[in-house]
């Protein structure tokens, strides 16, 4: 019995750690889900859908092409949100020669939520757009 006590203690500690980790993980997931939901709504509210769609490249790259190009990291999300706000002039882009109109009315945090939503789709391994970045 004396030998059992340390084992029991270790077990209890491990079990409680596991539980608190689960809580954090699902908490993070809920926030992420909420952000993605807001991103989707903002995407619909703005004019993005006229040029971007999930799988097909309309005028701008599809969500899946974007996901293939950019990891959904904080730095990428912030950079892309900035580009959405300032826009891309014809022949100055990375994906071809087309223009993305600027969105100066869009708050940076809202632009980031839309970009996060766009990057949440599975990557398209075939990127038909000409892409000049290495």
Rule CB under 6 A: which residues touch ligand HEC? 46-48, 50-52, 59-61, 66, 80, 83-84, 88, 93-96, 98-101, 103, 106, 114-115, 118
Find the residue with minimal CB distance to ligand HEC. 93
**Cβ proximity to ligand HEC, 30 vs 101, nearer residue:** 101
How many residues in total does the chain contain? Answer: 134
Closest contact distance (angstroms) between CB of 36 and ligand HEC is 14
Contact (Cβ atoms closer than 8 angstroms) between residue 36 and residue 120: yes
**Cβ proximity to ligand HEC, 21 vs 107, nearer residue:** 107
Contact (Cβ atoms closer than 8 angstroms) between residue 67 and residue 125: no
Rounded Cα gap, residues 114 and 127, in angstroms: 21
Closest contact distance (angstroms) between CB of 100 and ligand HEC is 3
**Cβ proximity to ligand HEC, 25 vs 130, nearer residue:** 130
Closest contact distance (angstroms) between CB of 12 and ligand HEC is 48
**Cβ proximity to ligand HEC, 64 vs 96, nearer residue:** 96
Closest contact distance (angstroms) between CB of 58 and ligand HEC is 8
């Amino acid at each position: 019995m004396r030998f059992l006590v340390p084992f029991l203690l270790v077990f209890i500690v491990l079990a409680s750690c596991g539980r608190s980790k689960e809580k954090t993980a699902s908490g993070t997931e809920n926030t992420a889900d909420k952000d993605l939901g807001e991103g989707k709504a903002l995407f619909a509210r703005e004019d993005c859908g006229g040029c971007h769609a999930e799988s097909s490249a309309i005028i701008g790259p599809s969500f899946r092409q974007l996901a293939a190009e950019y990891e959904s990291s904080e730095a990428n999300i912030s950079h892309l949100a900035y580009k959405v706000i300032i826009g891309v002039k014809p022949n100055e882009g990375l994906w071809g020669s087309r223009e993305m109109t600027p969105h100066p009315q869009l708050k940076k945090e809202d632009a980031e939520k839309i970009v996060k939503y766009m990057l949440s789709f599975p990557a398209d391994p075939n990127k038909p757009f000409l892409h000049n970045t290495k």
